[in-house]
Amino acid sequence: MTLLEFRDLRVDYASSEGIVPAVRGVTITVEAGETLGIAGESGCGKTTLASAVLRLLPDSAQVRGEILLDGVDILTMKWGTLRAVRWSQAAIVFQGALHALNPVQRIGDQIAEPIRLHQSVPEKQIKSRVGELLTQVGLPASRAKSYPHQLSGGQRQRVMIAMALACKPALIIADEPTTALDVMVQAQVLDLLTGLVRDASTGPDGGMGMILISHDLGVLGTTCDRIAVMYAGQIVESGPALEIFDNPKHPYTRALAAAFPRIGDPEARYSPTGLPGDPPFPGDLPTGCAFHPRCPIAVDTCRQGAPELVQVAPHRMAACFKVGS
């Protein structure tokens, strides 16, 4: 069953330098119970894509296309309906939990807030529900009385996860959930998140889907079912996670895979083999294939026309003239 579907999603930001396209026609689905990884460097549009799901983009963003959540287009929803959908059907784990949590509110109140808002749970049970959620993410229930600054980075990220699970949503969007943490804690938090989502997926109601966003292809390769690689606002390659990681087709994916080896090898994180060059500024994209200035195998065709995303193997899509030829 299809949980979420992007249909030719395009997002432009209006800025003083003119229109800046951040997402340029993304079409992809997330099935119930499935974890989709989205990989790419910063500025490739992956965070914009994630924020678009709950219409959390700033006013300067113009969004076109369709985002179907359980078959209903989010972009044409009325505000009241949208507010009801937010968090109860799709919840977000933000990347920097220090800034994403309200600094002057106890974390128990922050976790309870969406429960009070979306579910008619008697006030007495809310406290025990918050305690349950905290225990689930490996924190003592007494932590509900703490303020965000009293927790460590890893604990704060656990609180974010507890909060995302509070209303048992059908979809969880985790945007770089572990980037701000150190390597050991990263692995723990990631295991916790994927574990909880998998447990929820074995339930009778079709299962929880997740979009996991990261610049680290190694992390995605081991935790996701499928991966989509984004470059300059477009998907350049997609397919089953392990296949993508072990046998990348697109030259950009190949570079990413080399830059971020499999997790569990902390040394390699600090000495990436490196991605030559910088990602292009979205407001000033090169002609043809946006990747061609950094591409080691680019030919003249790549400078002239942009390649379409086409099937290159069973379940595998790629947008490159040189793949399959």
Closer of 148 and 282 to other proteins (Cβ): 148
Cβ-contact 230, 40 below 8 angstroms = yes
**Residue 325 CB, nearest distance to other proteins (Å)?**
44
Quick check: 150 binds other proteins (CB under 8 A)?
yes
Of 99, 127, 303, 315, which one interacts with other proteins (CB under 8 A)?
99
**Residue 110 CB, nearest distance to other proteins (Å)?**
8
Quick check: 96 binds other proteins (CB under 8 A)?
yes
- Using alpha carbons, select from 32, 42, 23, 26 the residue that is nearest to residue 278: 42
Of 87, 231, 260, 321, which one interacts with other proteins (CB under 8 A)?
87
Residue ranges in 156-195 that form contacts with other proteins under rule CB under 8 A: none
Cβ-contact 39, 230 below 8 angstroms = yes
Helix-strand-coil split of the chain, %, nearest 5: 40, 25, 40
**Residue 16 CB, nearest distance to other proteins (Å)?**
11
Q: Which stretch binds other proteins (CB under 8 A): 88-96, 187-195, 204-212, 273-281?
A: 88-96
Q: Which stretch binds other proteins (CB under 8 A): 12-20, 86-94, 188-196, 313-321?
A: 86-94
Angstrom distances, CA of residue 270 to CA of 181, 266, 275:
14, 7, 13
**Residue 111 CB, nearest distance to other proteins (Å)?**
10
Angstrom distances, CA of residue 101 to CA of 90, 109, 156, 324:
18, 11, 8, 47
- Using alpha carbons, select from 257, 263, 242, 128 the residue that is nearest to residue 184: 263
Instruction: Tokens 């477009």: give the residue.
Output: 234
Of 47, 48, 88, 178, which one interacts with other proteins (CB under 8 A)?
88
The tokens of 161 are what?
A: 């996860």
Quick check: 100 binds other proteins (CB under 8 A)?
yes
Cβ density class 91-101: b for 16+ within 10 Å, e for less: bbbbbebeebb
Q: Which stretch binds other proteins (CB under 8 A): 31-39, 97-105, 207-215, 259-267?
A: 97-105
Site map for other proteins, 108-137, x if CB under 8 A? -----xx--xx-------------------
Q: Is 62 left (phi over 0), alpha (psi -120 to 50) or beta?
A: beta
Of 16, 78, 104, 300, which one interacts with other proteins (CB under 8 A)?
104
- Using alpha carbons, select from 213, 212, 216, 309 the residue that is nearest to residue 256: 216
**Residue 156 CB, nearest distance to other proteins (Å)?**
12
Phi/psi at 238 (nearest 5 deg)? Answer: -150, 155
DSSP letter string, 54-93 = TT---TTEEEEEEEEETTEEGGG--HHHHHHHBTTTEEEE
Quick check: 86 binds other proteins (CB under 8 A)?
yes
Quick check: 155 binds other proteins (CB under 8 A)?
no
Burial status of residue 57 (CB atoms within 10 A of its CB: 0-12, 13-18, 19 or more): middle
Closer of 91 and 317 to other proteins (Cβ): 91
Quick check: 303 binds other proteins (CB under 8 A)?
no
> Which residues make up the interface to other proteins (CB under 8 A)?
51, 54, 56, 83-88, 91-92, 94, 96, 99-105, 113-114, 117-118, 147, 149-150
